[in-house]
Structure 1
Amino acid sequence: MVCVAFGAFMASLDGSIVNVSLPTIARVFRLGSGEAASVILSYLLSLSGCLLIFGRLGDVAGKRRVFLWGQGVFLLGSLACGLAPGLASLVAARFFQGVGGAMLTVSSYALISQVAPRDLLGWGIGILTTAVGLGATLGAPLGGFLTDWFSWRWVFYINLPVGAVSLYASHAYLQREGADRSPLDLRGLLRRFDVPGALFSFLGILLLVFGLNRGREEGWTSPLILGSLLGAGIALGLFALAERRHPEPLLDRELLGRRGFRVPVLGSLPGYLFIGGNTLLLPFFLQGAKGLSAQGCGFAMLLFSGVYMLLSGVGGRTSDRISPRILCAVSQVGAAGCCVLFASTLHVPGLLFPLLFLVGLGVANGFFYPPMGNLVLGGVPPEMRGSASGIFSVANRVCLTLGVCLYEALFSQWAPGGIEAPASALAGFRAAYLVAAALFVVGALWILLVPGKDALASTSPPSP
């Protein structure tokens, strides 16, 4: 379990550790901010585009095998990033590293359900969630330390000794289960695997995430963004056609037909939309309305991360004893209450209510995301958990990006004067967080539609 959590930690860490070194990279290579941002975007695009593919591949070729491959690819990508002589090679290496990150991310959630006993699945997912949160939290300070004291290249080189130890331990201690016990038959794998679906899904998700990610900077009506979103629609349409024709599609029809999987995935979307939106809006509020410095804002938001990480293991373990759907529903109602409190006290001087909001949100998330993982993976058979993890991860990634667009649009609609006009800005923040509260309530009611454990065990998916 530790090996799996450490792999997920590495992938999460590398998603944030590079951000703080971007100014140094831009100065060394004489880049503009847009060019430097491509170092981040290339990793995000390849990771998002590959999640669905490697989730399915884990079910077919073996979850342990994909996890080990992912560690190897991630290490090679890290080495290539550290050695990169210029921007083009660095972006290409980051794209390759993102492929390894996708393999680690999606296979870790599927593997944790394999190495943890069924009655401890929530606890295992809680440990994994804590590792992911720790990686995201440590990324910025560790990246700053390595860049200041050594070189920006050590942001990538640090992965090599740590990853090598992790790869050795994973190979030695992760047991072979299911498809991992059989020798790898590449010809048979290529015959069975949905290659057209993989290509169309990769292209569609990549273009969709790119369009959503760059829309605010480039302009939603710019040819680049319109072309990306149109291309995404065409590619995803071709993907849907390919899935109908392939005997073993990337999107398992039996999996999608399971109510115990479909309902919680949809019920989790308000939470991921809010993470994306809150990450955008809250720093503007803390710095613009409350006068905090960037460092002070970072420390305030660290309070949320700390509470969330501390309670993730508790939330996961509790979901092994209490119905995870009840925990998820109650947690979303709690998050809605936090948003209402925050929206109602925006005008109150001081930091008491923003800090209470961050603590309350950390508690709600700690008792939501690990139980949600338990609910999603516990509702499908072990041989489908790679695909389930892939679908769940893709939905989350898209919603994180879409949440930025949604909440920015809400803020702009209700704050025409922008952040510079205090009264207008408060109206924008209030509207955004009240909409978030409403979405959380809808999500809570939706999650209650998930069948109980007895129903999950006895209900078979509908026939095609």
Structure 2
Amino acid sequence: MPIPESDPTSREALAPRARWALASLSLAMLMPSLDTSIANAALPSLALNLEASFQQVQWIVLAYLLAVTTLIASAGRLGDLLGRRRVLLWGITLFTLASLCCGLAPGLGWLLVARALQGLGAAVMLALSMALVGDALPKARTGAAMGWLGSMSALGTTLGPALGGLILASIDWRWMFLVNVPLGLVALLLAWRCLPADRPVASASAFDVPGSVLLALSLGAYALALTLGHNRLAPLNLGLLAASAAGVVLLVRVERRATVPLFQPDLLRRPQLRSSLWLSLLVSTVIMTTQVIGPFYLSRGLGLDTLAVGLSLSLGPLVATLSGAPAGRLVDRYGARSLSRLGLLGLCSGLGLLALLPLSLGLAGYLLPLALVTASYALFQAANNSLVMLDVVPRQRGLTAGLLSLSRNVGLISGAAAMGALFAWGAQPQAGGRGGVEAVASGMHWTFGMAALLMLLALAIAGRDRLSEQAGAACRPARSD
């Protein structure tokens, strides 16, 4: 696996042990990000083969995302308490074994159970990979390494549908999960050999079980409300949304009284952290939208076969691979704040084009905006992750990384469920007598139009923070020399 070149601010190259430690963290970030979207390309085929609806096969994605999201903040906190290296090794082991179970699953029900277990291991890997950067690498290389891991996250998320489509076209769907087994063994060996040893500073009794359970129930109710009943706002759906909102309110009350809360109030009072969490949520929502809707448009809207869908989707990971390392260097040179906003602007532009061009230009109208979206996503990830993690004190690295990953995965759930529901509504064939191709194109128009609006909201949040920074600087008294 390639490792970033030496930081221009430090003339010393990384020691071999540190380079291999970064390689292990890169794999620990890449694999769970890959499995976030690797099943997306198989959803149309599974929907046909299993005679299931779009909402039912969505749970192949949602089971994984829900498991990741419900534990990811707690996983970061558990690493702070018991030792990050130790907990990461547990997470890689669970993820690898669950991937094997996914590949051997005899049916859809067993596959969903294995996907949930896989998500539990992925939660630990995503939360602690970023947290361990400060332990394994010199401080002068922290920014570049965070940018690199952000690029690995972007690469994994965008590579998933393409790799899944190619595997589905050439072998069997089971290999979409079995491919993780050798990768997991390599990551486990590197992490065990190269990551620095740690010592526990507390006991597992400090683990916030009530908060984790409430978070799981709230997110589960939210996802069910958006997928049951063919996306109609029936009483059941409204009741589930109300239960989700009540769960969040109760979660806040429980966390305020907890001895070791899942969300520490001091962290959430930081304006920069709150802003970065909101931006991460919004960006992840629109990225998952491209991964879920894209295969349906290519296969049912343009009539491409599975192999052609996989090849078309490979453009995204190619762009992420080429833009990942330059994004990290640009962040180090020009600063994370300005490049985060530049990434948001590129995402907004690309998604706006996706809402319009495919309706008239077909495949080219899809691939060109997708390249812009993917490159902008890689830039945003590198900048936003660096912005959040650079100033975190060591004792809060795991929890902060967990919160950042939590916001990302709540966005992924929203993209898979809420934006998937919007696409299903916009692509109803019976609406206005439209046929299949026109219906899918209409769903694309509505869904990516909403995604572009979400990026406008993200730009407004980033712009508000910039004005706040300027106002704060103007109010501070000048220092006397």
Q: TM-score range by the shorter chain?
A: 0.7 to 0.9
Question: In the alignment, residue 67 of structure 1 is paired with which amino acid?
Answer: L
Partner of 2:466: 448
Count of residue pairs the alignment pairs up: 445
1:103 to partner: Cα distance: 0.9
Secondary structure, counterpart of 1:361 in structure 2: helix
1:53 to partner: Cα distance: 1.3
Match status 1:383 vs 2:395:
yes
Match status 1:189 vs 2:204:
yes
Match status 1:305 vs 2:294:
no
Partner of 1:420: 438
**Which digits, 9 at most, give the CA deviation of each residue in 1:386-407, with x for residues without a partner?**
1122222222222233345258
2 CA distance for matches of 1:424 and 1:206? 29
1 CA distance for matches of 2:306 and 2:168? 19
1:75 to partner: Cα distance: 2.5
Any conservation in 2 of the 1:340–1:434 contact (CA below 8 Å)?
A: yes
Partner of 1:252: 264
1 CA distance for matches of 2:441 and 2:45? 37
2 CA distance for matches of 1:267 and 1:142? 27
2 CA distance for matches of 1:91 and 1:287? 24
Match status 1:220 vs 2:233:
yes
1 CA distance for matches of 2:371 and 2:90? 38
**Which digits, 9 at most, give the CA deviation of each residue in 1:244-279, with x for residues without a partner?**
111221101111111231222223343223223344
Question: In the alignment, residue 319 of structure 2 is paired with which amino acid?
Answer: V
**Which digits, 9 at most, give the CA deviation of each residue in 1:74-108, with x for residues without a partner?**
23323444454555444333322221111111111
Any conservation in 2 of the 1:46–1:206 contact (CA below 8 Å)?
A: no
Match status 1:115 vs 2:133:
no
- Unaligned 5+ segments in structure 2 are 1-21, 477-481
Structure 2 CA distance for partners of 1:407 and 1:437, relative to 1, 3 Å: farther
The 5 Å alignment of 1:31-70 reads 32=52, 38-70=59-91
Structure 2 CA distance for partners of 1:232 and 1:319, relative to 1, 3 Å: same
More divergent stretch after superposition (280-289 vs 99-108): 280-289
Match status 1:209 vs 2:226:
no
Match status 1:396 vs 2:426:
no
Any conservation in 2 of the 1:84–1:90 contact (CA below 8 Å)?
A: yes
Any conservation in 1 of the 2:423–2:444 contact (CA below 8 Å)?
A: no
1:54 to partner: Cα distance: 0.7
More divergent stretch after superposition (126-135 vs 30-39): 30-39
1 CA distance for matches of 2:251 and 2:362? 52
Secondary structure, counterpart of 1:181 in structure 2: coil
Tell me which of 187, 197, 201 is aligned to 1:166.
187
Any conservation in 1 of the 2:347–2:455 contact (CA below 8 Å)?
A: yes
Secondary structure, counterpart of 1:264 in structure 2: helix
1:352 to partner: Cα distance: 5.2
1 CA distance for matches of 2:183 and 2:66? 25
More divergent stretch after superposition (419-428 vs 364-373): 419-428
1 CA distance for matches of 2:358 and 2:165? 32
Secondary structure, counterpart of 1:247 in structure 2: coil
Any conservation in 2 of the 1:260–1:450 contact (CA below 8 Å)?
A: no
Partner of 1:125: 146
Cα RMSD, aligned residues only: 4.0
1 CA distance for matches of 2:59 and 2:356? 39
More divergent stretch after superposition (419-428 vs 317-326): 419-428
- Unaligned 5+ segments in structure 1 are 459-464
Structure 2 CA distance for partners of 1:335 and 1:32, relative to 1, 3 Å: closer
2 CA distance for matches of 1:422 and 1:122? 42
More divergent stretch after superposition (343-352 vs 103-112): 343-352
Question: In the alignment, residue 316 of structure 1 is paired with which amino acid?
Answer: G
Secondary structure, counterpart of 1:164 in structure 2: helix
Any conservation in 2 of the 1:411–1:432 contact (CA below 8 Å)?
A: no
2 CA distance for matches of 1:255 and 1:108? 19
TM-score, normalising length: structure 2: 0.77
Match status 1:328 vs 2:340:
yes
2 CA distance for matches of 1:376 and 1:133? 17
Any conservation in 2 of the 1:326–1:448 contact (CA below 8 Å)?
A: no
2 CA distance for matches of 1:443 and 1:23? 36
